[in-house]
Amino acid sequence: MVIMIISIAGFMFLLTLLIFGKTLRAESYKRDQMRAMRNEVKYLDEELEKPFFQRFIQPLWKKMAKGLSRMASRMNRKSGKKNNANSVLEAQLKKAGIKMGPHEYQLMKMFFYGIILSGGIFAALSLSDDVRIQLLMLLAAMMAMVTIPRYFLKAKIKKRTEAIQNDLPNVMDVLSVSIEAGLGFDAAVLRAVDKLEGPLIDELAQMAKEIQMGLSRRDALTALGERNEVSELQMFVSAVVQSEQFGTPIKNVLNSQAKQLRTSRKQRAQEKGMKAPIKMTLPMVIFIFPVIFIILLGPTVINIIDEFM
């Protein structure tokens, strides 16, 4: 029992570091990209200024993920099969904005499975002596092991897609104003990356870095649309590519695209508002109506029972 408690505490410690280190990783990722795009020198003294997570836990985690990746690649070579699940998972992680490889995500899932299974066993042994209840607790823990990672990944993809859809008109306005002020498209993108935040800005930063590394603007924009699979973003990419191909002013394209995206965003908000009463029906029936019935009919039922007793 003591070993189980220590293992659960260790798992919870690692999970806490992973959760709270997300903000630090995102800020460090953006800062490093901006330094690379501006060709700034990175001094060795900055390594000591990094938090404990980035100096110790993150490299250790990456080594474990690389070991798992090598093991999986060796098994695939021996079996002669192509692992398409990793490529699908890698695409889903990119859509969700999770900056880790498929093997690193699988390693994180293994830690999560260990936490849930250890917690289920501990709860089953400590809360009840009935074998049936213990089996039900273990079954609930196994169901949580299967459903929570899938729901988490789908929720992250949906949330990031909505964030990109909502941020796209504002980013287009910044790009349009920057281009009208005399900047080129690449300089306008760097200006937006420097001033704004969000998942769309991270994608634009990656696109700008690819352009500076020698990739053509058309290929970088096409890769941007393929990474995210957001219809509005793909429409923006195709409009910019066509503007560059046919020589039309890009600021007019951005203005029209921003107006159209604002209209679609307003329509999505109205659609969600129309769906709200329907979604509120089930909680009202379960939680509110029984209380109202008890308040209104409770005294009457008590009087009827007193009359017949």
Cα distance between residue 259 and residue 271, in whole Å:
18
Cα distance between residue 33 and residue 50, in whole Å:
16
The radius of gyration of the chain from alpha carbons, rounded to an integer in Å, stands at 27
Predicted local confidence at residue 37, as pLDDT: 57
Mean pLDDT of the chain: 76
One-character DSSP codes across 198-257 = SHHHHHHHHHHHHHHTT--HHHHHHHHHHHH--HHHHHHHHHHHHHHHHT--HHHHHHHH
pLDDT less than 50: residues of the chain: 2, 40-44, 80-82
Say what the alpha-carbon torsion angle 39, 40, 46, 47 is, to the nearest 10 degrees.
10
Residue 140 token pair: 């609930």
Q: What are the start-end ranges of the E strands in the chain?
A: none
Which string of b and e fits 205-234 if b means at least 16 CB within 10 Å?
bbbbbbbeeeeebeebbbbbbeebebebbb
- The dihedral built from the CA positions of residue 17, 19, 23 and 26, taken in this order, carries a sign that is positive
Predicted local confidence at residue 147, as pLDDT: 87
Predicted local confidence at residue 304, as pLDDT: 81
Residue 297 token pair: 């009919």
Predicted local confidence at residue 262, as pLDDT: 82
Cα distance between residue 147 and residue 138, in whole Å:
14
Residue 10, exposed/middle/buried by CB under 10 A (0-12, 13-18, 19+)?
A: middle
112's enclosing H/E stretch is helix 102-127
Cα distance between residue 239 and residue 307, in whole Å:
78
Which tens digits make up the pLDDT trace of 130-177? 788 888 888 888 888 888 888 888 888 888 888 888 888 888 888 888
Residue 229 token pair: 């699979």
The residue length of the chain stands at: 309
Residues 210 and 220 sit within 8 Å (Cβ to Cβ): yes
Counting DSSP H helices and E strands in the chain, the numbers are 13, 0
Q: Which residue type is seen at 224?
A: L
Q: Which residue type is seen at 67?
A: G
Q: Count Cα neighbours of 255 within 13 Å in the Cβ-side half-sphere.
A: 10
Residue 3 token pair: 């070993």
